[in-house]
Chains A and B, each alone.
Chain A
Amino acid sequence: MASENYTREEENFEDEELDETSFKSVKDAVLFAIDISNSMLEPRVSDDSKKCVKESPASAALKCAYHLMQQRIISNPHDMIGVLLYGTQSSKFYDEDEESRGDLSYPHCYLYTDLDVPSAQEVKELRSLAEKDEEALEILKPSSEPVSMANVLFCANQVFTSKAANFLSRRLFVVTDNDNPHADNKALRSAATVRARDLYDLGVNIELFPISRPDHEFDTSKFYDDIIYKTSPSDGDAPTYLKPDTYESTAKGDGLSLLNSLLSSINSRSAPRRSLFSNVPLELGPDFKISVNGYLLLKKQEPARNCFVWQGGETPQIAKGVTTLMADDTAHTVEKEDIRKAYKFGGEQVSFTTEEQQALRHFGDPVIRIIGFKPLSALPFWANIKHPSFIYPSEEDYVGSTRVFSALQQKLLEAEKMALVWFIPRKNASPVLAAMIAGAEKLDENGVQKTPPGMWIIPIPFADDVRENPEATLNKAPDTLIDSMREVIQQLQLPKAVYDPSKYPNPSLQWHYRILQALALEEDMPETAEDKTIPKYRQINKRAGEYVLAWAEELKAQSAKMFGGIAATKSTLVKRGAKEENAESHPSKRVKVEGDGTDADSVVKQASEKGTVSKLTVAVLKEFLNAHGRATAGKKSDLVERVEQYFEEKF
């Protein structure tokens, strides 16, 4: 338990950058500011009468916020999110509402979800608002008088100041269809620009999600260009992506397409851009460096580790574990500075001082050093050990980095080459050899960037990391058999013949949080999981079925020809004959071998019908269970139980 904890911490340490110069905590807070007005509440009707979904811009925005909230519980469990509605008839700000005495600080601002790590209750409330429950209609009533944008921005300012103090990343997501809120009031307008400047100085980044009205294109130059700043204050060096992505699609189209384009736009900005390493020199040759930042665009997302919950109070509470280090001989507490690292050797410990340890781990300062170029084809499929890092140029240390990086990226793309690099991502990180390859920009159907342009650093294995191939029998398939397999493959291409990760949510991760949500909200447990990774069996049968049968015939013919009666399957390693394995490859042929007593499947099935499963041998039970993807560990009684369970579920 303790040791597992230890390694986990080490892994984390490797992933996120430890910026020692910044005093800010590496967390992100997103506050949605959603404009509630008549036009925002007007449902966009679909031309297609079959689609009866009526989605208004406001409800689309709320759904996006709900979606993002759920998503961030999984992906960024320590980051905050909040929802501020503005332009509403009613007002709410912490303890203040219409019933409070005295003036309202922020009239027509309704802080629906306070900025915080969301609780299950808040998830539920936001969902009911997005789905327009009764109560929601009351809240989503637009005010008759216009709201002051300066007030909205200062309200957001106060929320950030008090709830997300010292966060490295603070972002205000403004969703509106009003491109000129104070067209006729210069004073209000300039007050808003001043409040926007306050947010900028506070380090809050405003991100605008403009929605065009059916009759009017959203024009940022009217108001919002005075509100939004070029660089994000938290990541001053990062170039902002200025290309608007929702213009075209929001004016036309129905509510559903509006929702989708808004979702893809918000999704693409859901994660705060945190660098993995920053301003690492990319050394093209001796004495020629440019600087780059590294990002983790691909990273295996795992469910958060379990923790301990204390249920003695009104609400369950997470108990925080505190680890103390103790000397084994005296049980006295040990300070970190006194700890020495030692290696087991010859029955004793060989120790090094802290300085020596550091010296041993030091192989030079962080660098990405090109040691030569190779054609892309030199990088074998198998030469991989982990996920890649993405790099993008930075002008911070070397002015001109971007143009050189750009030229290199384009050259590598055109010439289909890669660079072999010596890569030390952080101080005292152990060096790896890596392939640096260029990646082209990719856009989705809404024109939103899906894959950024840049370069990828793919760590490759050292000789130590390469395993020898296991022994295998080689029976090269004759051309006729290959040809019939080709027919099968050609029937079963994925859409566009590409793998698109966005089509496959991780079923076990989703299930984990789906269950937690149900438990937290005391809702009914879902019956079955949605699992997009399960193959579409019906389609496979329909499209490729007859080709599979043809292939199976050919396989039978060829193996009869090649192995005859003396197939290598007669060896002692495998208990059953070739015929049965042949059948294994194709169940429809199983019928023919059934009854000869060698087929575990039929033997077990018969036994199950007769109720004599417990009389079967362990070997047969194990073979049967393995063939059906069941665990084969445990005592015989466990195996029998599992087999019986299998038949219960089936029939």
Chain B
Amino acid sequence: MAEKEATVYIVDMGKSMGERHHGRSVTDLEWAMQYVWDRITSTVANGRKTATLAVVGLRTDETHNELDEEANYHNISVLSDLGQVLMPDIRRLREIIKPSRTNRGDAISSIVIAMQMIITYCKKLKYKRKIVLVTNGTGSMSNEGLKSIVSKLQEENIELVIIGADFDDPEYGVKEEDKDSAKAGNEALLRVLAEDCDGVYGTLEQAVSELDIPRIKVTKSMPSFKGHLQLGNSEEYDTAIRIPVARYFRTYVAKPPSASSFVLRSGTEAGQESAAGSQAPGEGDTLTTVRMSRTYQINDPNAPGGKTDVERDDLAKGYEYGRTAVAIEQTDENVTNLETFAGMEIIGFIQSDKYDRYLHMSNTNVIIAERANDAASLALSSLIHALYELESFAVARLVAKENKPPMLILLAPSIEPDYECLLEVQLPYAEDVRSYRFPPLDKIITVSGKVVTEHRNLPSDSLRDAVSDYVDSMELETTNDEGEPTNELPIDESFSPLLHRLESAVRYRAVHPNDPVLDPSERLTQFARPSEELVRKSKSYLERLISTADIKKVPPKTKGRKRQRETEKPLSGLDVDALLSLEPKRTKISSENAIPEFKQTLSRADSINAIHDAVKQMAEIIETQIKHSLGDANYDRVVEGLGTMREELVDYEEPFSYNDVLRTLKGKLLAEVLGGDRRELWWLIRRNRLGLIDKSVVESSGVSEAEAQEFLAAN
């Protein structure tokens, strides 16, 4: 459980906060609120009831606080009391946080009020207490009773953070020229206050600039396995090793926030909704959640449409074995589960240099000895060091809980000055390996089995050199905190782009409902391309590589056709086309061998008329298939036939023929003259994008993209 929090934000709303300084495009208040809103929305985003916060306005026109009897505490208003902040609070605060018409109001007093609020709210309970003051440091401040404030803050264990616009900060490099002497005095006063109670004192420029540093959620891991690391079988042999261990995540992918599905509440028109959005009285009110409801159908030749609904209660659980359905009775629900017992058992050892790193199949875990068990940690340490010295890994079988499927894991030693553990990752099983074969990359083997080492697909020596030099010139340099070069990947500085972009977009939208979504922050995409410095350093090598490699981009037009031409010969190179033309039977496209014969007829066609004739024959065959189709029996064939026709006619740049066929076909389908209701087929044609060939595909087509869209959409 995360700690309870109580944070009071004190926002200086004085008149001077409404001014713009030093050429900034935003007022001091707007600037300050960038920081404050970010902090507030981060707290709201975690959705915890116990993460409470309050907002206090300083130098407000009115006075509204517990101590408002005393003049010292005038012009300070509690805008929202400590508690969980929700969307309506955000909307309300957004409206009321505006510069006031006064510069009266004491910042020190506001800290006292904030302190009082925390003391009243938290009593003696365990809370993480914090006061954040954001101000431009103008106005008058009294140093009266500063000591007792400091001691009270410390006594109550309240952290004080003071952030100021244009506050001098030599460390960050901010120094305001011609600073007003009153402001300088205030700054000094606030600095002393913050430092005396071990708080934070900083300049707003730094705070705002660091807003885009993603904050990483620290998740406390729970052990996913607690049991014994074993070598041998202790139930049967006296020579088995059993070390009590626990297993924790080392890596685990942090998921981006997930969205839920909503629709507009009934009776809300689309237009109304956007109007509501601009006034922002709770867009959430106009949405209603989407529920999923599941029904079950079986094939039933006697039912209209060939399908009947069945009740969920009439169904048994089961599995598919091939196309056979196997029902499993409720009583032996777990019959297909392998019976296993929990344990981590070493199978054997391998040499680390003979392991291929790409066999890692999963996230990684750490294995440590059972807590507070010296003997176990000593035993595990001997295994870790022995593996390390022998440059070996252990292969083990892990069952994390009784009756869970066994996993094969690899255990590697990890030794740091003050930490030792085994690292663990899952290995692939035989079934997890798909063997696709690819030709060698360093030689070409010809059809006749000859090995060729010089070929246009093989690099020449000069290309090898160019690549080698370029790779060497592109060495990524990483440094540690002291600026010394390290041999490490920049994992610590890389942040999940989607996760942080979505989170910040949600937070931003909550406060600025009418703004467009923002581009990702630079920090999220810093690894999207090589650093400028590296690019500059390797530029000459890259230029040489480009000229040596002689890469040619294939223009999009010629992609399909040309390549196919080359390959339409069997391995022997026999001219089958010549044989085909001798075949006497092949003057008319037969329905059972339609696709090959259609393609072959086209490739032989010596006139436009011959193409048109082939298309006509093919169209007739397709229509017959539809007419004779029992239900959807022939639909896949029809789609394949149409698809082939479309593909070929695109290649032959004959869009008109196809478009004519399709128009006629659509008419017939929708008029139900091809054996009744064929809407499902039309839907299939749409889904497979077999619509009209438009201008974007073949220039000579008379159909625009919009027309093609419309043709497909209409039914």
Task: Report if B592 contacts A (CB, 8 A).
Answer: yes
Report, as a range, how many residues of chain B touch the other chain.
Answer: 35 or more
Asked whether, in the complex, the Cβ of B262 is within 8 Å of the Cβ of A372, the reply is no
Asked if A392 lies at the interface with its beta carbon under 8 angstroms from chain B, I say yes
Determine whether the beta carbon of B299 is less than 8 Å from that of A317. yes
The 10 closest A-B pairs by CB, nearest first: A372-B476, A629-B341, A348-B284, A508-B405, A407-B459, A201-B596, A309-B318, A225-B572, A545-B239, A588-B238
Stretch of A131-139, A176-184, A296-304, A611-619 on the interface side: A296-304
Query: Beyond the given A349-B262, A371-B476, A384-B364, could you list 6 further A-B residue pairs with CB under 8 A, ordered by the A residue number?
Result: A166-B637, A346-B44, A466-B492, A519-B321, A584-B228, A631-B401
A315–B321 Cα gap in the complex (Å)? Answer: 14
Tell me how far the C-beta of A250 lies from the nearest C-beta in chain B, rounded to whole angstroms.
16
Closest to A472 in B: B368
Q: Which residues, 239 to 295 on B, are CB-close (under 8 Å) to A?
A: 239-244, 246, 248-254, 256-266, 282-284, 287-295
Question: Is B364 within 8 A of A396, CB to CB?
Answer: no
Q: Which of B10-18, B181-189, B352-360, B671-679 binds A?
A: B352-360
- Chain B residue numbers with a CB within 8 Å of A298 are 358-359, 361, 428, 432-434
Task: Tell which of A60-68, A86-94, A495-503 binds the partner.
Answer: A495-503
The range of chain A's interface size is 35 or more
Interface residues of B in 545-569 (CB under 8 A from A): 545-546, 549-554, 559, 563-564, 567-569
- Which residues of B from 660 to 715 have beta carbons under 8 Å from A? 688-690
Q: How far is the CA of A379 from the CA of B487 in the complex (A)?
A: 9
A and B contact pairs by CB, cutoff 8 A, 17 listed: A23-B690, A116-B323, A119-B323, A201-B596, A298-B359, A299-B434, A311-B327, A328-B290, A345-B506, A352-B509, A360-B505, A385-B252, A385-B363, A505-B429, A581-B244, A588-B239, A630-B341
B223-240 vs A, Cβ < 8 Å mask (1 yes, 0 no): 100111001111111111
Contact in complex: B402, A465 (CB < 8 Å): no
Are A288 and B467 in contact, CB atoms less than 8 angstroms apart?
no
Given A372-B530, A382-B414, A473-B377, A324:B293 Cβ within 8 A: yes
- A406 beta carbon closer than 8 Å to chain B: yes
CB contacts (< 8 Å) of A386 on chain B: these are 253, 361-363
Tell me if B378 is interfacial: C-beta within 8 Å of chain A.
Answer: yes
Alpha-carbon gap, A506 to B361, bound state (A): 14
| Inter-subunit contact A383/B491 (CB<8 Å) | yes
Q: CA of A332 to CA of B234 in the docked complex: distance in angstroms?
A: 62
Segment among A31-39, A48-56, A455-463, A592-600 that sits at the interface with chain B:
A455-463
Interface 9-mer from A141-149, A255-263, A563-571: A563-571
Chain B 446-481 per-residue mask, 1 if CB under 8 angstroms from chain A, else 0:
111100000011111001101110111011101000
- Cβ of A606: which chain B residues have Cβ within 8 Å of it? none
The answer to whether B362 touches A384 (Cβ under 8 A) is yes
Write out the residue numbers on chain A whose beta carbons fall within 8 Å of the beta carbon of B429: 301, 501, 504-506, 509
Inter-subunit contact A469/B373 (CB<8 Å): no
Q: Is the CB of B260 within 8 A of A344?
A: yes
Known A304-B319, A453-B442; contact A403-B457, beta-carbon cutoff 8 A: yes
Q: Which residues of A contact B634 (CB under 8 A)?
A: 165
Q: In whole angstroms, what is the CA distance A493 to B576 when docked?
A: 57
Q: Which of A119, A122, A307, A363 has the most CB of B within 10 A?
A: A307
Q: Tell me the nearest residue of chain A to B524, going by C-beta.
A: A363
| Contact of B389 with A482 in the complex, beta carbons under 8 Å | yes
The reply to whether A284 and B545 form a contact with Cβ atoms under 8 Å apart is yes
> Which of A23, A194, A220, A339 meets B688, CB within 8 Å?
A23
Query: Is B489 a contact partner of A460 (Cβ separation < 8 A)?
Result: yes
Given A410-B464, A502-B433, CB of A431 within 8 Å of CB of B326: no
B123 contacts the other chain (CB 8 A): no
Bound together, the chains give a CA A242 to CA B448 distance in angstroms of 9
Q: Is the CB of B382 within 8 A of A482?
A: yes
With A430-B498, A467-B221, A467-B248: A519-B326 Cβ-Cβ less than 8 Å: yes
B438 and A202 within 8 A (CB): no
Q: Is the CB of A193 within 8 A of B571?
A: no
Q: Which stretch in B69-77, B160-168, B417-425 binds the other chain?
A: B417-425
* B315 at the A interface (CB under 8 A): yes
Question: In B408-445, which residues have CB < 8 Å from any A CB?
Answer: 408, 410, 412, 414, 418-421, 423, 425-442, 445
CA–CA, A300 and B431, complex, Å: 8
Is the CB–CB distance between A411 and B468 below 8 Å? Answer: yes
Of B110-118, B172-180, B330-338, the one with at least 4 CB within 8 A of chain A: B330-338
Say which residue of A21, A359, A581 sits within 8 Å of B376 (CB atoms): A581
Nearest CB of chain A from residue B684's CB, rounded to whole Å: 9
- B563 → A minimal CB distance (Å): 7
Is residue B320 contacting chain A, with contact meaning CB distance below 8 A?
A: yes
Contact A267 B435, beta carbon cutoff 8 Å: yes
Among B258, B324, B377, B592, contact of A472 (Cβ-Cβ < 8 Å): B377
Q: Given known contacts A229-B567, A342-B260, A466-B491, is B546 in contact with A271 (CB within 8 Å)?
A: no
Contact call A503/B430, Cβ cutoff below 8 A: yes
Report if A241 contacts B (CB, 8 A).
Answer: yes
B459 touches A406 (CB 8 A): yes
Which of the 9-residue segments B84-92, B124-132, B190-198, B607-615 touches chain A? B84-92
Q: Are B430 and A166 in contact (CB under 8 A)?
A: no
- In the bound complex, do residue B324 and residue A520 qualify as a contact, i.e. CB atoms below 8 Å apart? yes
| CB–CB A409/B441 < 8 A | yes
Q: Tell me if A77 is interfacial: C-beta within 8 Å of chain B.
A: yes
Residues of A within 8 A of B299 (CB): 317
Tell me the A534-552 residues at the B interface (CB within 8 Å): 534-537, 540-541, 544-546, 548-549, 551-552
* Complex Cα–Cα for A587 and B228 (A): 12
| Bound Cα distance A77, B321 (Å) | 8
Q: Is the CB of A334 within 8 A of B263?
A: yes
Q: How far is the CA of A431 from the CA of B187 in the complex (A)?
A: 44
A401 CA to B456 CA in the complex, in Å? 10
**Least distance between A58 CB and chain B CB atoms (Å):** 24
In the assembly, what is the distance between CA of A339 and CA of B231, in Å?
A: 55
Contacts of B435 in A (CB 8 A): 267-271, 297, 449-450
| Contact call A310/B310, Cβ cutoff below 8 A | yes
Whether the pair B576, A537 counts as a contact (CB closer than 8 A) is: no
Return chain B residues, CB-CB under 8 Å to A499. 350, 355, 359, 395, 410, 427
Binding stretch for chain A, among B100-108, B144-152, B210-218: B210-218
Q: Is the CB of A586 within 8 A of B262?
A: no
Which residues of A sit under 8 angstroms from B509, Cβ to Cβ? 350, 352
The answer, among B237, B448, B489, for a CB contact under 8 Å with A537, is: B237
- Docked Cα-Cα span, A301 to B433, in Å, equals 9
A379/B357 contact (C-beta < 8 A), A310-B298, A430-B497 known: yes
CB-CB under 8 A from B373, the residues of chain A are 473, 568-569, 574, 578, 581
- A330 on interface, CB distance cutoff 8 Å: yes
Does B35 have its Cβ within 8 Å of any Cβ on chain A?
no
Q: How far is the CA of A271 from the CA of B119 in the complex (A)?
A: 68
Q: Least Cβ distance of A459 to chain B in Å?
A: 9
Q: Does A420 sit within 8 A of B, measured CB to CB?
A: yes
Chain B residue at minimal CB-CB distance from A491: B349
Residues of A within 8 A of B401 (CB): 631
A582 to B373, CA, bound (A): 9
